[in-house]
Every structure is written in structure tokens, then in C-alpha cells.
Amino acid sequence: MPRIPLMTEGITVTVTEESTPVSHFERIGGASSVKAAVELFYERVLADPELVDYFAEVEMSGQRRHLAQMLTVVLGGPNAYTGRDLASAHQPLNIPVAHYAKVGAHLTATLTQLGVPGDIVTDVQAVLAQVQDQVVAGGDRAGA
């Protein structure tokens, strides 16, 4: 970091310029890392017999792209998300809390398996908790 000496009445003060904070997105390696996480995440979800039916008629390349865009935003990367809002996309599916929790567990396991630092995983889990009411049927938080 560059140091800038300042002179004030014969006293020299050194001020260190703060570097721009690095986003979680940058810390994990950017778009390629998000893409890898999305691929592994959907491998897990589509192998889960309790969750696979939600995706039976979903065009998965578009689904993967939307999740990558959303995860990028959650991690502090560039916002290129153009999909529907969470409630519009999920409320018609009548997702129970138990299934929402399983999806969150798969995402946590995916990030952990890929070596994502714990503080980032914790922040992603906090976002999952914040948006749960938009995804779960009727905003039901019972059992969460």
C-alpha cells in the first residue's frame, strides 16, 4: 500500500491508503468459481430424491445461469441478474421449509467442499435465512 507522508507544523504523519475491499466474489475466484459451485450444487440437488421433482420440467442450462447470476450478486460481484424475483419464481412451487432447508444444506456442503472460507459460507447462510419467506410456501417459517 502506498504511504503518503504529510507535513504539519514540523511533524511528519504517515497515512496509509486503504485498499479497496475485496468482495466475497473476488475472494473465491470470480465467475469461474461461481460456475463450478453451481454445477456441483445442481449435481447434489438433482441426485436428491426429495428435490429432483422440482426440476423435472425446468430447462437446466437457464436455471444454472440464473443461479450463477444470483449467487454472484449475493457474493458481492456484478449484478447481471435478469430473472424473476424470488417470490414469483418459487411461491407457485409450494416449497415446504424442510425442502428449503435441504437446498440450503446442499449449497453449504457445496461451498465447503470447494474450500470456500467459513466467513463467506456463513454470509451465504445469512442471506438464505433472510430470503426464506420469499421462497417457502406461504412464507411458513415453522421448523426453520
pTM for the whole structure: 0.80
Which pLDDT score is estimated for 138? 72
pLDDT, tens digit only, all 144 positions of the chain: 445 444 445 554 445 555 667 999 999 999 999 999 999 999 999 999 999 999 999 999 999 999 999 999 999 999 988 888 888 989 889 999 999 999 999 999 999 999 999 999 999 999 999 999 999 987 544 444
* CA-CA-CA-CA dihedral for 124, 127, 133, 137, to nearest 10: -20
∠ CA(135), CA(66), CA(20), 5° rounding? 100
Which pLDDT score is estimated for 142? 46
Is residue 37 within 8 Å of residue 77, measured between CB atoms?
Answer: no
Is residue 42 within 8 Å of residue 52, measured between CB atoms?
Answer: no
Q: Please identify, in words, the CATH class of the domain defined by 25-139.
A: mainly alpha
Which pLDDT score is estimated for 1? 46
Query: What are the grid coordinates assigned to 125, written together?
Result: 447462510
Q: So where are the chain's domains?
A: 25-139
Which pLDDT score is estimated for 16? 52
Which pLDDT score is estimated for 82? 83
Is residue 131 within 8 Å of residue 87, measured between CB atoms?
Answer: no
